């Protein structure tokens, strides 16, 4: 009877042990499978070598990607050669679609300082520009300063006051030119400077040198408004025009050629934006024929 009882008990334990063993094996299988999925192991792999980066690296890489920050060349910074030219010209483009005269003239002062070291070809241009900038500054800071805050305000005031010249008729005393006429002359010179900078920056190796390119810019922007003698003097001066390397070295000291060319191109784009807005304002008011 003891043997029979022992056998009966063993059978009962065995019947209960089978399900427990199966359940344990199932749990072990599921745990192992979960571990393989999380760690990157394949189910058929004998050794667990994760195929991806560790979980810590995955979490670190799962955030938003950040584009590399563009580093502004020193020459375009607030104290840089081109930065001192571009900053006031950009500031002259006010949100109302007008041109702020004080900032425009400050940009011209900086542009003259940049062009002067390039040689005698710019002597007559920068001297003339400086004289015109001085004449306009006298109005911007003079007794009628309230009427010379912007191009539009100046043009409206001078028209009401009868100060505008008749189209195509030069004043007897250039020092007494209207502010609108003086600005028009600066406007044309700005176009030449902008074209010159752009063509030097965009020139291809083996192409025309800087003297030829800036000479073409002169014939486009200024020559039609200059007498024959001035045109001949300019043509001779362009023969001794500084090379592209000199331009780039002055524009972006210490920078590589590609970086300097890109900076010069951005400066030219700024001047073009100012020129285009000024051109539109002058055209709307019928002032392009003042000189």
Give the DSSP letter of residue 150. B
Give the span between the Cα atoms of 217 and 200, in whole angstroms: 11
Domain at 74-284, CATH from 1.10.150.120, 3.30.470.20, 3.30.2310.20, 1.10.3520.10: 1.10.3520.10
- The pLDDT of residue 84 is 95
Q: Helices in 161-256 by DSSP H: which ranges?
A: 179-202, 210-221, 228-237, 244-251
**What is the reported pLDDT for 124?**
60
Domain spans in the chain, listed from the N-terminal domain onward: 1-38, 74-284
Three-state SS sequence of 58-80:
HHHHCCCCCCCCCCCCHHHCCCC
| pLDDT score at 204 | 78
- Residue identified by tokens 């005698």 is 120
The reported pTM is 0.74
User: 248: closest CA among 258, 239, 238?
Assistant: 258
Residue pLDDT, tens place only, 159-206: 999 999 988 787 877 778 999 999 999 999 999 999 999 999 998 777
CB proximity list for 209: less than 8 A, separation 6 or greater: 241, 243, 244
**CA atoms of 280 and 271, how far apart (whole Å):** 14
Please report the pLDDT score of residue 162 as a whole number: 94
Rounded distance between C-alpha atoms, residue 80 and residue 175, angstroms: 33
Mean pLDDT by 10 residues, the chain (291 residues): 40 42 38 39 39 40 44 86 96 97 97 82 73 95 96 97 86 84 95 93 82 88 89 82 85 92 95 98 95 86
């Amino acid at each position: 009877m003891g043997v029979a009882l022992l056998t009966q008990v063993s059978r009962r334990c065995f019947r209960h042990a089978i399900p427990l063993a199966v359940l344990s094996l199932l749990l072990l299988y599921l745990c192992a499978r979960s571990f393989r999925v999380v760690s990157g192991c394949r189910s058929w792999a004998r050794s667990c070598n994760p195929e991806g980066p560790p979980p810590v690296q995955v979490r670190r890489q799962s955030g938003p990607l950040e584009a590399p920050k563009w580093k502004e060349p020193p020459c375009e910074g607030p104290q840089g050669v081109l930065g001192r030219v571009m900053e006031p010209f950009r500031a002259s483009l006010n949100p109302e679609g007008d041109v702020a005269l004080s900032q425009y003239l400050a940009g011209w002062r900086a542009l003259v300082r940049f062009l002067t070291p390039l040689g005698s070809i710019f002597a007559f241009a920068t001297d003339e520009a400086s004289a015109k900038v001085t004449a306009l500054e006298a109005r911007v800071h003079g007794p009628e300063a309230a009427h010379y805050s912007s191009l539009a305000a100046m043009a409206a005031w001078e028209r009401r006051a009868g100060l505008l010249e008749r189209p195509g008729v030069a004043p007897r005393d250039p020092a007494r030119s209207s502010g609108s006429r003086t600005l028009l002359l600066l406007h044309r010179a700005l176009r030449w400077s902008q074209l010159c900078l752009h063509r030097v920056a965009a020139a291809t190796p083996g192409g025309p040198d800087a003297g030829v390119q800036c000479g073409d810019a002169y014939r486009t922007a200024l020559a039609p408004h200059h007498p024959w003698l001035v045109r001949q003097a300019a043509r001779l001066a362009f023969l001794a025009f500084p090379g592209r390397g000199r331009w780039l070295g002055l524009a972006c000291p210490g920078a590589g050629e590609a970086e300097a060319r890109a900076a010069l191109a951005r400066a030219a784009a700024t001047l073009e934006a100012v020129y285009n807005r000024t051109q539109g304002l002058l055209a709307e008011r019928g002032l392009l024929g003042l000189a």
